[in-house]
Amino acid sequence: MKTRLARHWISGSMIGLTYLAAVLATLPLLLILAHLIRKGAASLSLSFFTHMPGPVGETGGGMANAIVGTLILISIACAIGLPIGIGAGIYLSEKRSMPLAQSVRFLSDVLNGLPSIVMGIFAWTLLVRPVGHFSALAGGGALGAMMIPLVTRTTEEMLRVVPTSLREAALALGYPRWRTSLSVVVRTALAGIATGALVAVARIAGETAPLLFTALGNQFWSTSLREPIAALPLQIFAYAISAYDEWHAQAWAGALVLISIVLVISLAARVVTRSKFGAPVD
């Protein structure tokens, strides 16, 4: 029989282990951040955001085109991924047990697990090859397609936790079903849906593989949707595998900017979620 002391000791060390695991879970992010700041902060200046990439051998220069390009690509992806994803999520939560809903749900999960390089090749076949050239549109399309299943599933989950009692309250007051869904169910879950959308944006912002065969990247300033466009992940990739120290430094700085964008979006998602509970009601 174990003594009381032994039980006490085992309990204490088990709790200690879980603490350790919790700390280890966040360690990679902290290490990455520290490393990026150490390597990238030196090359980071205002001109990094306002200047174009410089020629080899010259210090300075920035990634203005890539930062703007990433923002454009994210916008295109949102224009495609959000309406389809949110719409499909509403459908899944409204028609939970229909056979079509069940297959859509299953396929969304499969799509969620699809390697992003496959998505890139797919987008190339569909959006690049028929047109004959790489374009921002194709890159945004690939990212948008990646967003769809993410947004679909989070939207459905968020709608699902809206209590049935609220839905019934509106129906019992004589609200038509579509209006109940939109004005009561979706509105109640709006903060959650917005969070899901922001998480999806954060996720695709750093994707490189789907852009390799679609947006391609661009050393010059371009905001045309029909032309190849620069993107931060692509620029980082190109600079990181280059042979020049200046470019390596620029790649570190680009990585730091990219991770900052993702962190800011994630933080925004947290703030939006919190306001769900503390928000003053109308």
Partner 1 sequence: MTSVAAAQAPAPDITRQLGAIEARDFSFWYEKKQALKNISIAVPPRAVTALIGPSGCGKSTFLRSINRLNDLIPGIRHEGRMSLDGQNIFEKSMDVVALRQRVGMVFQRWNPFPKSIYENVAYGPRINGIDSQVSLDEIVERSLRRAALWEEVKDRLRTSALGLSGGQQQRVCIARALANQPEVLLLDEPASALDPSSTQKIEELVYELKQELTIIIVTHNLQQAARASDHTAFFFLGELVEFGPTDQIFTRPREERTEAYITGRFG
Residue numbers at the binding site for partner 1 (CB under 8 A) = 97, 163, 165-166, 168-177, 179, 184, 188, 280-282
- Minimum distance, C-beta of residue 169 to partner 1, in the bound complex (Å): 5
CB of 105 to partner 1, least distance (A): 16
Residue position matching structure tokens 């980071």: 44
Cβ closer to partner 1: 13 or 97? Answer: 97
Listed in sequence order, the DSSP H helices in 95-226 are 99-112, 116-123, 136-160, 164-172, 177-179, 187-188, 190-205, 209-212
Pick 116 or 188: Cβ nearer partner 1: 188
Contact between 214 and 277 (Cβ < 8 Å): no
Q: Is the Cβ of residue 135 or residue 180 nearer to partner 1 in the bound state?
A: 180
| Residue 229 φ then ψ, to 5° | -130, 150
Query: Least CB distance from residue 157 to partner 1, whole Å?
Result: 19
Closest approach of Cβ 99 to partner 1, in Å? Answer: 11
> Is the CB of 121 or the CB of 170 nearer to partner 1?
170
Residue-wise burial string across 152-166, b where 16 or more C-beta atoms lie within 10 A, e elsewhere: bbbbbbbbeebeeee
Question: Could you tell me the smallest distance in angstroms from the CB atom of residue 170 to partner 1?
Answer: 8
Nearer to partner 1, 113 or 277 (CB): 277
Q: Which of 115, 95, 114, 120 is nearest to 105 (CA)?
A: 95
DSSP code of residue 180: I
Alpha-carbon span 203 to 145, nearest angstrom: 13
Nearer to partner 1, 115 or 163 (CB): 163
CB closer to partner 1 out of 142 and 159? 159
Is-contact 105 92, C-beta < 8 A?
yes
Helix (H) or strand (E) holding 252: helix 245-278
Q: Are 211 and 231 within 8 A, CB to CB? A: yes
Shortest distance (Å) from residue 257 CB to partner 1: 39
Long-range contacts of 23-29, Cβ-Cβ distance < 8 Å, separation of 24 or more: none
Return the closest-CA partner of residue 40 out of 208, 218, 240. Answer: 240
Minimum gap (Å) between residue 98 Cβ and partner 1: 8
